Amino acid sequence: MITRPRPSALATTAALVASGVLSAAAPAAAAVTCASPQWKAEYYANTTLTGTPKLTTCDSAIAENYGYGDPAGVTLPKDNFSVRWSLTRDFGSGGPFTFTAEAQDGIRVTLDGVRRIDLWKNVSTTQKKTVNLTVPAGRHTIVVSYATWTGAANVKFGYAPVTSATYDKVRPLAPAGASVTYDRTLNKATLKWAANKEMDLSGYRVYRRLSSSTAWTKISSATALVTTASYVNAPPPTGQTYLYELRAVDKAGNESPGGPDLTVVSVDRTPTAAPAGVTATDGASGVVLAWQPVAGAARYTVHRQRTGSTDPVAQVAAGVTATTWKDTATAERTGYTYWVSAVDAAGNISPRTSVTASHGDFAPAAPTGLTVVDSSDAVRQHTLRWTAPAATDVVSYNVYRDGGLLENVSGTGFVDRDAVWHGTTYRYTVTAVDRAGHESPASAEAVITTEGDLIAPAAVTGVRATPREDGVLVEWDASTEPDLKRYEVFRAEKYDDGDGGFFWLAHRVEYLSKDATSFLHPADPDGETVMYGVIAVDRWENMLLVEDPSLNWAEVTELGTPVTE
């Protein structure tokens, strides 16, 4: 039997009780958790297994001989005490098991609450019983109850799987938690899995097949089983996909179903054939290369060198999955040599196939990245920026606003100082012009709406004028316009029109801050009748005209005697 940790625990408990450090009731109150498959043992000072246990501890096995005395380390009567052992564990796939019990005096054994052994009586000799039963797959609970009334006391219980192939026909569970890692450098597939739950496990077998086949081949030893939870294999280095499967084997020779398939794509160091039929066609937007598809190719790479130069051969395209590719970064009036190679799924690169081409003189590509921002300060203006196309012979750019040519500039920026209308939307595009006069397509449009509006503030209300010795005091109600910038005060004087009528002629007399609500206009006290008006101006310089009929004018006669001419 396995050595049990319980006696030392009992002795420690007894020592603490004797020293007064721990009361006799402390073990019963302590919470004890026993790791499966250990037994949880509960000791009672009666034969009915009732009340609070005097001690709860863990046992690795049930094999006790108490003689004629009570168990050491716990306060129990010499006679008439009882013990309950219980455990819950995983039985894997289950199958036939043997339960063996021995006791003096009584013993009972239950499996998931169903009584399997019942020898519950006071005897003078040890009684024994063996039961063969089938345990279902999964987790189950065994409870062993023991009681001694008088005389000698001993108890023993064990359970074990039946490993005879005659009786055990239950297949183990498939291995769980399987995984595989593959080292391409060493061409090594490492399989790992969780230990099987079977109590009668003998070992494992490893199988492998091509993904294109349904036939499994055992690759572990023909006779010996794998006894660890890992296995290393070198698959054929063909670049093909291989599947691995794990199976558990019990002591009766039963083999489990296969676990989940584990996939490995082996290393492939054999390149494909070189691309054939490579051609190069020049066009306005670049040189177009084309070739025939290559069997086994996953992608293609293109290298380039200027014809007749000592420039290094440079890779200009990788990961091309089609059988055509356009070189849009060519310089005009320049010859090139191209090389095309195929790359398979394993990264093997085929020999190269070369072709030459010359790129002619075409219109450049459109500028990109056109942006416009309102950079207004004292002067209203829009600032444009863009990115030049790849062509090297661009000499200038045409800037268009709302479809009309605005300016031709040499750089990649322009300031439009004519976009003066607030609240107005402007649309800009830019084209590139090369030295041959070819103009590119237009860039993507950049749109901006100038900040502000074109609406004048409402007429100022409450305008009144009071004559004084030192002039005329003009007052008004504060404007409620949210974008108010200032007030402008106007004075209107009456003139004879020469036809028996008259007209008023107004002129500005002062600019005032937006916080002002009054203004003293110095004027000679000559008894003249005049009018004063106040006009609100917003931050966009919008204001009503003096002729606007909505304006409020205050008529006033200055103090003094009118001057006669």
Pairwise pLDDT comparison (451 vs 307), residue with the higher score = 307
Q: How far apart are CA 305 and CA 360, in angstroms?
A: 17
Share of the chain above pLDDT 70, in %: 93
Q: Is the pLDDT of residue 227 over 70?
A: yes
Mean pLDDT for the stretch of residues 517-534: 92
Q: Is the pLDDT of residue 22 over 80?
A: no
What integer pLDDT is reported at residue 565 of this predicted model? 55
What integer pLDDT is reported at residue 40 of this predicted model? 96
What integer pLDDT is reported at residue 495 of this predicted model? 87
What integer pLDDT is reported at residue 419 of this predicted model? 74
What integer pLDDT is reported at residue 364 of this predicted model? 85
What integer pLDDT is reported at residue 237 of this predicted model? 87
Mean pLDDT of the residues in the chain = 89
Owner of token pair 């061409």: 187
Question: Of 3.30.590.10, 2.60.120.260, 3.90.380.10, 2.60.60.20, which CATH number belongs to 6-161?
Answer: 2.60.120.260
Q: Is the pLDDT of residue 84 over 90?
A: yes
Q: Is the pLDDT of residue 35 over 90?
A: yes
Owner of token pair 């949210």: 482
What integer pLDDT is reported at residue 20 of this predicted model? 35
pLDDT band at 376 (very low <50, low <70, confident <90, very high): low
Share of the chain above pLDDT 90, in %: 73
pLDDT band at 38 (very low <50, low <70, confident <90, very high): very high
**269: Cβ contacts below 8 Å, ≥ 6 apart:** 237, 346, 348
Instruction: Give me the sheet containing 484-496, strands edge to edge.
Output: 502-513, 484-496, 529-538, 553-557
Quick one: which H or E segment has residue 13? helix 6-19
Mean pLDDT for the stretch of residues 71-92: 90
Determine if the pTM surpasses 0.85: no
What integer pLDDT is reported at residue 346 of this predicted model? 80
What integer pLDDT is reported at residue 352 of this predicted model? 94
Q: Which of 259, 257, 246, 112 is nearest to 170 (CA)?
A: 257
pLDDT band at 34 (very low <50, low <70, confident <90, very high): very high
Q: Which of 92, 80, 81, 88 is nearest to 33 (CA)?
A: 88
Q: Is the pLDDT of residue 2 over 70?
A: no
Which tens digits make up the pLDDT trace of 134-168? Answer: 999 999 999 999 999 999 999 999 999 999 999 99
CB-CB contact of 477 with 460 (8 Å): yes
Pairwise pLDDT comparison (325 vs 24), residue with the higher score = 325
Q: Is the pLDDT of residue 380 over 50?
A: yes
Q: Is the pLDDT of residue 77 over 80?
A: yes
Q: How far apart are CA 327 and CA 325, in angstroms?
A: 7
Mean pLDDT for the stretch of residues 219-248: 93
For the ranges 15-29, 520-534, 542-556, the lowest mean pLDDT is seen at: 15-29
Q: Is the pLDDT of residue 5 over 70?
A: no
What integer pLDDT is reported at residue 70 of this predicted model? 73
CB-CB contact of 540 with 453 (8 Å): yes
Q: How far apart are CA 302 and CA 353, in angstroms?
A: 10
CATH number of 368-449: 2.60.40.10
CATH T-level fold of 464-557: Immunoglobulin-like (2.60.40)
In whole angstroms, what separates CA 498 from the centre of its chain? Answer: 86
Q: How far apart are CA 128 and CA 131, in angstroms?
A: 10
Pairwise pLDDT comparison (269 vs 177), residue with the higher score = 177
| Every domain of the chain and the residues it spans | 6-161, 179-265, 279-359, 368-449, 464-557
What integer pLDDT is reported at residue 539 of this predicted model? 87
Which tens digits make up the pLDDT trace of 444-492? Answer: 999 998 777 888 999 999 999 999 999 999 999 999 999 999 999 999 9
Q: Is the pLDDT of residue 18 over 70?
A: no
pLDDT band at 3 (very low <50, low <70, confident <90, very high): very low
Pairwise pLDDT comparison (498 vs 549), residue with the higher score = 549
**433: Cβ contacts below 8 Å, ≥ 6 apart:** 364, 394, 395, 396, 397, 398, 408, 439, 440
CB-CB contact of 384 with 372 (8 Å): yes
Cis peptide bond upstream of 37, omega within 30: yes
CATH T-level fold of 179-265: Immunoglobulin-like (2.60.40)
Q: Is the pLDDT of residue 53 over 90?
A: yes
Structure tokens at 454: 């074109």
Which CATH superfamily includes the segment(s) 279-359?
Immunoglobulins (2.60.40.10)
List Cα–Cα distances, 245 to 172, 189, 203, in angstroms.
Answer: 15, 13, 14
What integer pLDDT is reported at residue 1 of this predicted model? 32
Tell me the backbone φ, ψ of residue 477, rounded to 5 degrees: -80, 145
In whole angstroms, what separates CA 562 from the centre of its chain? Answer: 88
Q: Is the pLDDT of residue 211 over 50?
A: yes
Reduced to 3 DSSP states, what percent helix, strand and coil does the chain have, rounded to the nearest 5?
A: 5, 50, 50
